[in-house]
Structure 1
Amino acid sequence: MTDFNVHTIESAPEASKPQLEHSQKTYGFVPNLHGVMAESPALLEAYRTVSAIFDTKTDLSTTERQIIAMTNNRLNGCTYCMAAHTSIMQAGKVPDDVITALRDGTPIADPKLEALRVFAEQVSEKRGWIEQSNIDALLAAGYTKQTVFDVIVGTAYKVLSNYTNHVAQTPLDPAFAKNEWTAETERVQ
């Protein structure tokens, strides 16, 4: 197996250094994911750009964005992102029952949020080949046509990080260790 570097600001390619400096300022440390992505300045920039677009240009709440992210993380079996996003959700005051449902792969009690979770799951599992009934259910729950496409933005954002973590076997940061997750920790439905 190829051993990928977890770059520091000092060891990163020149084009990645400003991105890692931004990570350091934003998080107080350089997340290992960003350190791994720094090997490819294009990947790191793409990830940070799509992440920023997803966070600031959609009409989705923090909870709704995390539902999309965590659904993809779980379906893709990304242990790094499951732990990291659990920490992000806790800091963002996402309700505990929503966090538990997303980590366990179980339904969310709130029907509107559950409709979003199911739709995000369908987008990921069916690779975008969504049946009209799935779109109708999302719209009936109170979401919009824009939401259909915003789920795709969130899915693309998670493909960048989830696949990177699979390839590089990114080590979990100490900041996220308390929320470690494996597929075995997911409850059987």
Structure 2
Amino acid sequence: MIEFTVHAVENASDDSKPLLQKSKKAYGFVPNLHAVMAESPALLEAYRTVAEIFDNKTNLSPTERQVIAMTNNRLNGCTYCMAAHTSIMQGLRVDEDVITSLREGTPIADPKLEALRVFAEKVNLSRGWPDDSDVEALLAAGYTKQTVFDVIVGTAYKVLSNYTNHIANTPLDEAFAKNEWSGDAQPVD
């Protein structure tokens, strides 16, 4: 297996250094995901930019954004992101039953959140080709046409991190270790 560097602010390239400094300021530490992404300033900047857009420019609540993120994390088998986003949801005080459902891939009791979970799953599994009935079900649950596209933003955000973690085998940060996850998603041959 090829090993990738987990960069520190001090040894990062001049283009990645300010991005890692922003991460440290935001989180109190540099998450290993960001430290690995620092190998490519373009990747790190793209990830941070899409994450900021997803958080601040969509019509989704923090819980709804986590439903989309966690659904993609689970389907993509990203152990790092499952642990990290579980920690994020706990910090947001998301109901434990929602967190458990997302970690296990089981239905969420709240029908609106469940409709969002199912649609995010359909988008991921169909590689962006959900059926009209899938879109109609999301709209019937009280979401909008904007939400359809905001799910795509969330999916793109998770592709950046999930795929990075798969390739780099990013070590789990101590901050997320209590929420370690191992799923059954396997690489496609």
Q: Place the TM-score, normalised by the shorter chain, in its bin.
A: over 0.9
Shift of 1:93: 1.1
CA contact (8 A) 1:62 1:94 kept: no
Ranges of 4+ aligned residues in structure 1 off by more than 6 Å: none
TM, length-normalised to structure 1:
0.97
Counterpart in 2 of 1:123? 123
CA contact (8 A) 1:69 1:154 kept: yes
Question: Alignment length, in residue pairs?
Answer: 184
1:35-66 Cα deviation digits (max 9, x unpaired): 00000000000000000000000010010000
| Distance in 1 separating the partners of 2:94 and 2:58 | 18
| Distance in 1 separating the partners of 2:135 and 2:124 | 14
Cα RMSD (Å) of the superposition? Answer: 0.5
| Distance in 1 separating the partners of 2:54 and 2:34 | 17
Counterpart in 1 of 2:22? 22
After TM superposition, the structure 1 = structure 2 runs for residues 30-179 of structure 1, keeping only pairs within 5 Å, are 30-179=30-179
| Distance in 2 separating the partners of 1:114 and 1:162 | 22
Shift of 1:166: 0.1
TM, length-normalised to structure 2:
0.97
1:43-93 Cα deviation digits (max 9, x unpaired): 000000000000000010010000000000000000000000000000011
**Identity among equivalent pairs (%):** 76
Amino acid of the structure 1 residue aligned with 2:32: N
1:2-28 Cα deviation digits (max 9, x unpaired): 110000001111100000000111100
| Distance in 2 separating the partners of 1:130 and 1:23 | 35
The secondary structure found in structure 1 opposite 2:153 is: helix
Unpaired stretches in structure 1, ≥5 consecutive residues: 185-189
| Distance in 2 separating the partners of 1:175 and 1:105 | 24
Amino acid of the structure 1 residue aligned with 2:113: L
